[in-house]
Amino acid sequence: MVADETANGDPAFPDSDSALVLEPACERCPDLAACRNRIAWGNGPTDAAVVVVGEAPGAGVPDADRWRGGNWTGLAYTAQHSGRRIRETMATVGYPDSFFTNAVKCFPADPEEPSTNREPTAVEREHCRDHLRTELERVEPDAVVATGKHATTSMLAFEDRTVEGFVDSVLEPVRLDSLGLTLVPILHPAYRDIWLSRLGYDRGAYFEELRDVLDAIVEG
């Protein structure tokens, strides 16, 4: 369930009722529980053909009108920049009703710069992996779109695999038999425009190939 597009053409903002809340007061990671404002739960239709997985929510912008980010909304991928951009991407390629989540559900603040992100630790990723697995089991998608190297790493960890040459893996489907789905790594939305030309794409060609890859998985 998603709300309608706003008047200024923003992608649809998720309905709070679409949040898949698995452990409301989770404190598996004390450092994350101490610095988060809210847990950013996955959201969207639980019968979606595609799940979009990011690494972790950012600090967000609490004073924003709507797109404040998962750390404040409690909904993954609702930030002003990355949230709107990845939702626009999925709508453009024909999958607006995807399920959106993160491998780590809480904002990992940098102790030296509390308003910025640090990389989640291996232990934090492991603690949250049960939540991600539960989401994937509930939704049963055909494909997972992983946004960036860290999200791809988290997905491959389910099969004890690692990322080798992330940029070369972009838009290259990887079957994850233990989960019964296909992984599709893509560029992180925050850095997409920087890397598109280096990969030989313009925006339209990149979207077209992502659409073709997902259609082949979902319809195949």
**Residue 79, in any domain of the structure:** yes
Q: Is residue 1 part of a domain?
A: no
Which pLDDT score, from 0 to 100, does residue 191 have?
85
Q: What is the mean pLDDT of residues 167-183?
A: 96
Express each pLDDT in 118-137 by its tens digit.
999 999 999 999 999 999 99
Residue 8 included in any domain: no
Burial bucket for residue 7 (CB in 10 Å: 0-12, 13-18, 19+)? exposed
> What range defines the domain where residue 137 resides?
16-219
* Residue range 4-52, pLDDT digits in tens: 344 456 799 999 999 999 999 999 999 999 999 999 999 999 999 999 9
CB of 185 closer than 8 Å to CB of 152? yes
Total domains present in the chain: 1
Residue 4 in any domain: the answer is no
> Is residue 194's pLDDT more than 90?
no
Whole-angstrom distance, CA of residue 193 vs CA of residue 182: 25
For position 115, which CATH number holds?
Answer: 3.40.470.10
Looking at the domain assignment, is residue 186 inside a domain? yes
Can you give the pLDDT at residue 9? 62
With beta carbons less than 8 A apart as the criterion, state whether 144 and 136 touch: yes
Instruction: Confirm whether 3 is domain-assigned.
Output: no
Mean pLDDT of 201-219: 96
Q: Could you read off the pLDDT of 62-85 as tens digits, one per residue?
A: 999 999 999 999 999 999 999 999
> Does 32 reside within a domain?
yes
Residue 193 lies in a domain: yes
